[in-house]
Amino acid sequence: MNLLLASLLAGLSIAMLTWAFRDDLVERFERDIDWLRRTMWRFSPEPFNARPWVVGLYAGWFALLPVFVLVFPVPLIGLVLWLALLLVPRLVIDRKWSKHRKQIETQLPDAVLKISSGVASGMTLAQAITHVCENLEDPIRTEFNLMANQWKLGADLITTVEESKRRLQLENFNLFASALATNARMGGNVVDTLERLAHSLEAIAHMRHEVYAATAEGRANIKVLAVAPAIMLGLACFIDIGAVGMLFTTPVGWVLLLIAGTLTATGTIWAMNIVNADV
């Protein structure tokens, strides 16, 4: 009975807060739709209906509130973790986007070299890009397919390459797009330009791989240190739940949590900036 009453009161409280801040929530909802639409545009320029995805995310997020509050021994801990769920979609998509861009950077030197070989064999630049799509793997195959399809529909090839450049925002792809644009305006031997560009991209990729391998241990240690406070706090809940609860229910505990969180975040960001050297 008490559990049912608590659930009803929690639901009523959420409904009242939602009504009180309905204008802010609608504005946030529209911003999230716009963000997701722009984010998916980076992966593909095809039209994407973001509204149902954001509605589903909101529905699932609100449905999990009573679960988090009732399952955790200290309701405030559950509430904090529930609020932290707001960060999960952005973190997942940003991680996927980072992986997508790294794959394209890895595949780009070979793709540029194949385009150069196609032009050397007598194809036009647009024909060479269309031809290499058959021998490439995703995700770069999708990018070149999009350029080839737009060219077939009558768009200017350089314009389509510039559009991909704006979407991907990759330094190496920017070099490729700039080389094509410069060659289109100034003329010259495009085969030689693309070959030299491909070899330069391979050298850059090799250097980045060496730096990444040299800093792998440091990144692993940073990840362990970043999650260690949360793991220790979770273990402490099973040892002395009362002491842990004081961290979330007393002003002194709030100050300690703020200090600990600030120090952990600052140290993690600082260390990641050191090991993630820009090559």
Per-residue pLDDT tens, the chain, 279 aa: give them.
455 565 566 666 666 666 666 677 778 778 888 888 877 777 776 777 888 888 888 888 777 777 777 776 666 667 777 777 777 888 888 888 888 888 888 888 888 888 888 888 888 777 787 787 777 788 888 878 877 777 777 777 777 778 878 888 888 888 888 887 777 777 677 788 888 888 888 888 788 777 777 777 777 888 888 888 878 877 877 777 777 777 777 878 778 888 888 888 888 888 777 766 555
- The neighbour count for residue 32, using CB atoms within 10 Å, is 20
Rounded Cα distance between 269 and 186, Å, is 44
Determine contact, residues 92/39, Cβ cutoff 8 Å: no
Tell me which of 1.20.272, 3.30.1490, 1.20.81, 1.10.10 is the CATH number of domain 103-208.
1.20.81
Listed by start position, the domains of the chain span 103-208, 215-279
104 Cβ neighbours under 8 A, 6+ residues apart: 139, 140, 143, 168, 170, 173
Rounded Cα distance between 115 and 192, Å, is 11
Chain-centre distance for alpha carbon 197: 28
The per-residue pLDDT for 15 is 66
The per-residue pLDDT for 9 is 63
Determine contact, residues 156/165, Cβ cutoff 8 Å: no
The per-residue pLDDT for 73 is 64
Determine contact, residues 143/149, Cβ cutoff 8 Å: no
H helices of the chain, in order, are 2-20, 22-43, 51-71, 75-84, 88-120, 125-132, 140-152, 157-168, 171-186, 190-214, 216-239, 241-249, 251-275
